[in-house]
Amino acid sequence: MASAVNLVADFRLHRSSGFDLELSISISAGETVALLGPNGAGKSTAVAALAGLLPIDSGRIVLGEVTLDNPQVGSFVPAHQREIGVLFQDGLLFPHLSVLENVAFGLRRRGVQPEEARLRTKDWLRRMGLEGLERRRPRHLSGGEAQRVALARALVTEPKLLLLDEPLSALDVTTRTQLRRTLAEHLEGFPGPRLLITHDPTEAFLLADRVHVIEDGMVTQAGTAEDIRLRPRTRYAADLAGANLVSGTAAGGTVDTGRHTIHIADTEIKGDVLLVIRPAAIALYPHQPEGSPRNSWLTSIALIEELGDRTRVLTEAPLPLAAEVTTDSARSLGLSPGTDIWLSIKATEIDVQAG
């Protein structure tokens, strides 16, 4: 097994296109950190720098005892000599090679003898539930199968660091949920540091221990998923990452969250689910709302944060949720911490995902 090492990356990188990336991140062995940001925020550049495909301009990247890149002392380990496994967005399986050859590629390039490479490859294909597909070409695989082959290819060489670059983005919703579980399972078994690159907050929150929000080449917020979800510091974080995630068990159009029962529009879904509730979908009232909407309860305000023309309101028991209202209406409602408030959510505004 690869020995457990830490990743310390603290660097600046200037692209010829004029884009600058400044990243400071450290990941312990066995820890998953997500780099969450919109397209064009510099996520792919970060992957390229860590993988050794782009040299950094200043700073350093150190994996365990090995300095991978430090221009100040003139050290640079080229990509092919770094022990880093990368899972790319669309898999990037080599189209001219079979599944077996794709997975064995890294082992063979690193000098493993053909017979041993074949055995190790077969072992990983079995672990990924890909037996019988050894001779297939990538174009004859489904999206989920292809991504599992790509994951096997990244893990079979037992790298010291695992980079997951938008691993689920190219997949359809059903496959995404399945592969997310596979991924969670294999991340668990991977001893080194893991970096997940994603623009999907749900993915980041479900798979990562800590999240770095990256915007315009800079980390704008770092913390636990909970920190970012409940106290987003930027507009982007509030809009995309600031969603409420509530897990529970669904049956007959209601979800038991353990603390409160929430009504949902989907009456068919059963079992473990994840509810995604956008803060803007939560309405606040000084009195009990008329027409008694089904998801409505009295709570009190824990925290109020102004983010420009919008204000986030953190509510307390029975179910802590973040709501977002315009700053104008927050003022007219006279909101302040500790005051009681009525909250309501339309069932149709709740996004239900299989958990």
**Residues within window 58-77 making contact with other proteins, judged by CB under 8 A:** none
34 touches other proteins (CB under 8 A): no
Among 2, 79, 280, 298, binds other proteins (CB under 8 A): 79
Assess contact for 214 and 37: CB atoms under 8 A.
Answer: yes
Provide, for the chain, the percentages of residues in helix, strand and coil under a 3-state DSSP scheme, each rounded to the nearest 5: 30, 35, 35
For residue 330, what is the enclosing H or E element?
Answer: helix 327-333
Which residues on adjacent β-strands are paired with residue 274?
247, 353
Among 36, 48, 63, 196, binds other proteins (CB under 8 A): 48
52 touches other proteins (CB under 8 A): yes
138 touches other proteins (CB under 8 A): no
The distance of closest approach from Cβ of residue 113 to other proteins in the complex, given in angstroms and rounded to an integer, is: 15
* CB of 59 or CB of 159, closer to other proteins: 159
DSSP 47-60: HHHHHTSS--SEEE
* CB of 61 or CB of 211, closer to other proteins: 61
110 touches other proteins (CB under 8 A): yes
From 51-59, 226-234, 286-294, 330-338, give the range in contact with other proteins by CB under 8 A. 51-59
The distance of closest approach from Cβ of residue 219 to other proteins in the complex, given in angstroms and rounded to an integer, is: 23
**Residues within window 118-137 making contact with other proteins, judged by CB under 8 A:** none
80 touches other proteins (CB under 8 A): yes
Which residues on adjacent β-strands are paired with residue 63?
7, 66
Question: What pairing do the DSSP bridges indicate for beta strands 32-36 and 194-198?
Answer: parallel
Which residues on adjacent β-strands are paired with residue 223?
211
The residues near 337 (Cβ < 8 Å, ≥ 6 apart) are 301, 302, 303, 304
Residue 170's SS3 state is: coil
**Residues within window 143-172 making contact with other proteins, judged by CB under 8 A:** 153, 157
Peptide bond into 293 cis (omega under 30): no
- Please work out the total of residues on this chain that contact other proteins, with binding judged by CB under 8 A: 24
Among 43, 82, 229, 278, binds other proteins (CB under 8 A): 82
Assess contact for 83 and 118: CB atoms under 8 A.
Answer: no
Distance CA 8, CA 11 (A): 10
* CB of 82 or CB of 229, closer to other proteins: 82
7 touches other proteins (CB under 8 A): no
140 touches other proteins (CB under 8 A): no
Assess contact for 197 and 165: CB atoms under 8 A.
Answer: yes
DSSP 268-302: S--EEEEEEE-GGGEEEESSPPTT--SEEEEEEEE
Binding track, positions 185-204, relative to other proteins; x by CB under 8 A = --------------------
The distance of closest approach from Cβ of residue 81 to other proteins in the complex, given in angstroms and rounded to an integer, is: 8
Residue 321's SS3 state is: coil
Distance CA 190, CA 129 (A): 18
Among 3, 26, 78, 184, binds other proteins (CB under 8 A): 78
Residue 223's SS3 state is: strand
Among 2, 8, 66, 92, binds other proteins (CB under 8 A): 92
The distance of closest approach from Cβ of residue 105 to other proteins in the complex, given in angstroms and rounded to an integer, is: 5
* CB of 60 or CB of 108, closer to other proteins: 108
Catalog residues that contact other proteins under the rule CB under 8 A: 48, 51-53, 78-82, 84-86, 88, 92, 94-97, 105-106, 109-110, 153, 157
